[in-house]
Structures are given as C-alpha cells and as structure tokens.
Amino acid sequence: MKFYTGQHKHYCGIDLHARSMYVYVLDRAGVVLVHKNIAAAPEPLLALIGPYREDLVIAVECMFSWYWLADLCAREKIGFVLGHALYMKAIHGAKAKNDRIDAHKIAALLRGGLIPQAYVYPAKMRATRDLMRRRNYLMRKRAELLAHIQNTASQYNLPALGVRVARPNERKGVAAQFSDPSARKSIELDVAMIDHYDKVLPSLEHQIEQTAQGHDPFALSLLRSTPGIGQVLALSILYEIERISRFARVQEFLSYGRLVKPTQESAGKVLGHSGRRIGNAHLKWAYSEAAVCFLRANPRGQAMLKTLSDRHGKPKAMSILAAKLARATYFMLKRKVPFEAERFYRT
C-alpha cells in the first residue's frame, strides 16, 4: 500500500456524497482555515477554497461519485489524492462519526502523509472501462437466465431439453416443453430476454473494440496472442490495467489482481492469510476465465495442469495457472513482445 507523502501549504479533506460534501481545509501547521458543508458541485467548491488555492492538495475517500471531482482538479491544476476506502481505518473505526469529523480526519491524514492511495484512473479510458464492466454484468445476467431455464426443467423433472439453449436457433421451442401455463410463461420471458441480450451485446462489444483501437491497439494485440485470451478477456484486461507501467514489479500486479494469497506474519510466525478481497475483482475474473480457456484443445497445457494438480490439488492448480498467465502478460506488456510458449511452459 502506497501513502501520499507530498508536502503542501494547504490540505483539503472532503467527505463526499452524491448531493453534498463537507470540506475541511488545514494549513501546514494543522490550523483549521475553513470547514463547511456545501453542495456537491464545482462552483461552490471553487468559491470556498479560492483563498487557499496556493499549493493546495485535495483528498477524498474512494466512493462512487469521485469522477467529477478528479476531473475538476485536473482542469484547475489542483493536486488530487484518492484515498483507498478499505485502508482508511481511522475513519471507519471511530467512536463518533459524522461528515465533519470524517472530513477533518481525511485532511489530517493527508497532512501527516498517511493517506493510503487508490489509483486515480485517467478520464480518457475511464468511461470505456465502465462500459466494459457493464457488458460483463449484462453477460452474467444472460447466463443467469440460461441457468434458470435448465433449473426449471429440473424442478418439473422434465427429460433433457436436447438443445443448446445458448444458441438462438435451438431455443425457439423450449417453452413448449413445459405443460404448466405459468412455468411456460416464465421460460418465454427468459427466452425473450436472452434474445434481446444477443442483439445488444455483439454491437456493444464491437463498439468497445473500436474504441480500444484508438487507445492502445498494440497492447490489445499482445494480449490476444496469449492462448485462452480472446477479444472479451483482452479488452477486460486492457482496461483494468490501463497501463502496465503503474506496477513497478510483477508481484504488485499479481497482488492487484487478487492472484496471490497475502500472508499475515508476526515475530517470524505465519498467522494465516487475509486481504483476499482487496484488489481488482474484474482482473481476477478475467484471468480465472483465461485459465479455463487456456486448457481447451491444449494438450500441453492440460499436462501442465495435471502436474500442478498432483502436487497441489485441482482448485489451487487452476489458481496457479491463472497467476502464471498474469505473470506472462505482465512481462509481455513490459517488454512489448508476444506470448512465448516455450518460455511459459519451461517456467
């Protein structure tokens, strides 16, 4: 975890909400210069901090509405620090808690060099990253509908449907196999929604890929040279990483992607593991899917998995394979070289 340690003349802590925000400004000595609850909009904020703009830095806890504030600070040439919500224990563990106290604590942590930093994703690629995440969310909803059709058939003890429901031309008569009118209507709704997703998602994926060609087409092509990483996974990885240079070491990248198991240690003794949910869940999903796809029609990869499974068991072996793929893509993007099969299997 990185802490912001920059020294400034003025420190501003903001407890941000969707429609309001509490602003606290301290000077270098810790003296309170202003504190006030204002509307969450650019004009009131700029007016309030106007007298203290000289060498000012603003910090805010990472929550869903920080985009506009980061973009405002970039336009106004004001330093901006995004605090990692999961690490800001001084705020969440307090005995008394309100907007004024939280804003004061953020400003004090900023002044003391104790703000745990989260990554401020650049505005250029941010909207496309969110669109890619939305696409993945909609695809999961489609998968839930497919699973519901199969589960409903099992509930009524029907024989196997005999078709691949995921294929448009094979699911048209699925609802007719249910004799109960309500059950049939439920399946008809599922099929109608799946049909709609099948119309929307391909055009959405095409738009995202066209946008990605304008951002970093070379990195996208390098990712797609990896077995198991196709169009969707390459786009997900590209937009979750943004640029590989943000990670100084491969260990930092694996930790960010939730692909390693953090260890708690004290006095030379290992006490257990924690922090498995700290990191990027979307990157974890992408590499877990890539590990599964990597094994398809890949005898050499399947042999590697068997060796790992004999030593560690199947679940851990899949995790190791996902981490190996992430390690490979890290060095591919760093060195700007495509996937090298011989090196991958040798290590």
Q: Which residues of 245-284 are buried (b: 16+ CB within 10 A; e: fewer)?
A: eebeebeebbbbbbbbeeeeeeeeeeeeeeeeeebbebbb
Beta-carbon contacts of 10 under 8 Å, excluding residues fewer than 6 positions away, are 25, 26, 27, 28, 33, 52, 53, 54, 55, 56, 57
> If DSSP codes are grouped into helix, strand and coil, which group holds residue 182?
helix
Tell how strand 56-61 and strand 10-16 pair up: parallel
Same domain as 89, residue 48: yes
> If DSSP codes are grouped into helix, strand and coil, which group holds residue 57?
strand
φ and ψ at residue 112, rounded to 5 degrees: -85, 0
Same domain as 98, residue 29: yes
pTM: 0.89
| Domain stop point among 49, 84, 116 | 116
| Domain stop point among 96, 116, 136 | 116
Domain that holds residue 332: 224-346
φ and ψ at residue 117, rounded to 5 degrees: -85, 135
What pLDDT tens digit does each residue of the chain (347 aa) get?
Answer: 789 999 999 999 999 999 999 999 999 999 999 999 999 999 999 999 999 999 999 999 998 899 999 999 999 999 999 999 888 876 777 778 899 999 999 999 999 999 999 999 999 999 999 999 999 999 999 999 999 999 999 999 888 888 889 888 888 889 988 999 999 999 999 999 999 999 999 999 999 999 998 999 999 999 999 999 999 999 999 999 999 999 999 999 999 999 988 777 888 787 777 777 789 999 999 999 999 999 999 999 999 999 999 999 999 999 999 999 999 999 999 999 999 999 999 86
Please tell me what DSSP assigns to residue 9. S
If one counts the domains in the chain, the total is 3
Identify the bridge partners of residue 57 per DSSP, sorted by sequence position: 11, 79
Same domain as 239, residue 323: yes
Same domain as 278, residue 186: no
